[in-house]
Structure 1
Amino acid sequence: MDPRSEVLLRQAELFAGNVLLAGLPADDLLGRLPEAHGWSWHAGEQAQLEARFPGRSRFGTAPDAEDFTAAVLFLPKSRELTDYLLQALACRLPGRELFLVGEKRAGIESASKQLAAFGKPRKLDSARHCQLWQVTVEQVPAQPVLETLGQHFSLELEDGPLQVISLPGVFSHGRLDRGTALLLQHLDRLPSGHLLDFGCGAGVLGAVLKRRYPASQVSLLDVDAFAIASSRLTLAANGLQAEVLAGDGIHAAPSGLAAILSNPPFHQGVHTSYAATEQLLREAASHLQGRGEIRLVANNFLQYAPLIEKHLGPCRTLAAADGFHVYRAVRP
């Protein structure tokens, strides 16, 4: 059981009704709170919740239309995303209770101050290295419009400017990260066919691929609902059409790909995780056509070359700069 869920269950009587659990972990919490339902923006956790508790959690960037008696927000990593989520919940809870739970090392003490916009926050519990806070919503905010919260920036590329729209909580929010910038310089001579942007974030790489290779089918894949929404906005801002997929890992990708391009994630919340990239490298060959290739960028300290060699064959370093390597391998 996630320690944040354990803290809630210490005072389970507070959550006995039709409570919305926003950003809930994929544990047994819904089983212990049979009237509650969930809202998840992580495709992998949503899939696990749906398998165990069919119909009791939904995936997306906003809560569903169903009324709820109270809501609990499991603190996300991003302060900007926390602001949006709290407003999206508080606008539906006039005079009712909004709870915030999170780990101390994730900044729950600081984040609790964001509750003051709606009323007087109070700490209910501190245990399992977590805290639980509550506020009665007295100042009801307007319903936030997610699209208006996007940060817009333009990338000056060889074939013209690219407009990017980044939503709160998305990787490298509001700017181009150095790894992607390096990878963008090494997208020449890709094989013809279906191209995949794995871990698409705000859709920069996928949009560049579709513009540079307009005859190719391009798919963008991410685990996060806010990244999916960002990618769709970025594509639309540039008059481009591509398939955008929500899924947890490479198993959610199409097969028969000509190339997989990625600046793969290695952070999840406050924890560091390499699982998605390691799974990508283990299983990429099964999604690539013959002579299909993978190109990815990674921090120098991430030892991915041996994994690429093991599962795909000879690995070539296309570039090494600014603390990153760009790797290329071709499926036999």
Structure 2
Amino acid sequence: MSFSTPMGQLLDRQSPAIREGEWLIAPPLDEGLLNGARQRIWSLDHLIAEVWRKHGHEVVEGLTPPENMNAALLFWPKTMDLGRWWIDQINAHCAPGSTLRVVGEHHGGGKRVPGELEARGMSYQRLDNARRCSLYQTTTVAGEAGEHWSRFEALDLALVSHPGIFGHGRLDDGTGMLLEVLPTLEGRVIDAGCGDGVISAWLARQGAEVTAVDINHLALEATRRTLEANDLKGEVLPSDMLEAVEGQFDAIISNPAFHQERHVSIDPARKLIEQASKKLAPKGALYLVANSFLPYMDLMKKHFGRVEVLKETSRFRVYRASRR
């Protein structure tokens, strides 16, 4: 196998690294495993799940845990609270005494794994340490999945959030600025990259027919809960930006992600802008907020006849793009 990430390279030192079908991999991060033995994986990311599925692996996608978990390999996420959620899920749905291995980067929270295991009464041993990563082995204990959902108030809305969602537990400043200048919108609208559902709820409260999309199943569930908490309605579905939606829309609204791990990537926004130009009704518009340093103006001008900046600060710009 060929591993490009430090955690994968550490695993490759094991012999064999991962036997076919022996481990449930959660969440799958290392593309070096894709073309190897057929694996069983649990992913909260719709896009990653699709990639693994196309490579012939057994994929469990979403928040419902897989059945018959007997041994699990956990790639420790960068968000500590999300790592805690994963440990609690595995303990709750594996028979006590099942094998659990946890691999994590030291600067990504991996050094804190032993403390999290000890806090749950899980004895462990460190199997390996290299590439600024560590691999631990423990056994599961009886436990509850826990209540990791939280609620907060913003813009006279009750918002539901969860670790691993963009802007967890607070209203993002960029999203707040976008909603300040967003006009009252009617008809069919899309919230692309819905997060905790604040944009969806804002639009639905105005009377728009809302479709909310995201690749993160935690975000999708948060948006469903946010809409329900405010007695609002909307369609919520997993989609790589606008790939899964059908028909034309009167408006598309987004605060697109631009980080992949620790790197800046405008690929999600590029995909959204390209798709939006084909999904908008003739008089429709794309409303997008982004950090000021991101090069979106030229990209939007390639696909739209008219692009304007509705508001700008030293940190953010709100764009409106339409066919004319």
Match of 2:54 among 51, 54, 57: 51
Partner of 2:183: 188
Q: What is residue 74 of structure 1 aligned with on the other side?
A: 75
1:131 shift after superposition: 2.5
Query: Are 1:174 and 2:177 an aligned pair?
Result: no
The alpha-carbon deviation at position 244 of structure 1 amounts to 0.6
Rounded to whole Å, the distance in 2 between the matches of 1:322 and 1:175 is 21
Deviation at 1:262, TM superposition (A): 0.6
Of residues 121, 141, 144, the one that matches 1:142 is: 144
Within-5 A mapping of 1:47-126: 47-53=50-56, 56-64=58-66, 66-91=67-92, 92-116=94-118, 117-126=120-129
- Residue identity over aligned pairs, in percent, reads 34
Secondary structure of residue in 2 paired with 1:163: strand
Give the alignment of 1:217-256 within 5 angstroms. 217-256=209-248
Deviation of the 1:2 alpha carbon: 4.3
Which of structure 1's runs of 4+ aligned residues deviate more than 6 A?
Answer: none
1:182 Cα offset (Å): 0.6
Residue by residue over 1:151-182, the C-alpha shift from the partner in whole angstroms, topping out at 9 and shown as x without a partner, is 211123xxxx2110001211111110101111
Alpha-carbon separation, structure 2, partners of 1:258 and 1:33: 46
Match in the other structure for 1:21: 25
| Unmatched runs of 5 consecutive residues or more in structure 1 | none
Greater CA deviation, 193-202 or 305-314? 305-314
Deviation readout 1:45-79 (Å, 9 max, x if unpaired): 1011111115x011112422x21221111122211
Are the counterparts in 1 of residues 306 and 323 from structure 2 also a CA contact under 8 Å?
no
* TM-score normalised to structure 2 length: 0.91
Query: What's the CA shift string for 1:112-142, capped at 9, x where partnerless?
Result: 43222242232212334432222123x4322
TM-score for both structures, normalised by structure 1: 0.89
Counterpart in the other structure of 2:154: 155
For residues 248 and 297 of structure 1, what CA distance do their matches in structure 2 show?
Answer: 18
Structure 2: gaps spanning 5 or more residues:
none
| Cα distance change, pair 19–173 in 1 and its aligned pair in 2 (3 A) | same
Report SS of the residue matched to 1:173.
Answer: coil
In 1, Cα distance between equivalents of 2:262 and 2:225: 27
Contact 2:26 2:41 survives alignment (8 Å): yes
**2:175 partner SS:** helix
Distance 2:307 2:34 in 1: 45
Q: 2-side partners of 1:201 and 1:297: how far apart?
A: 14
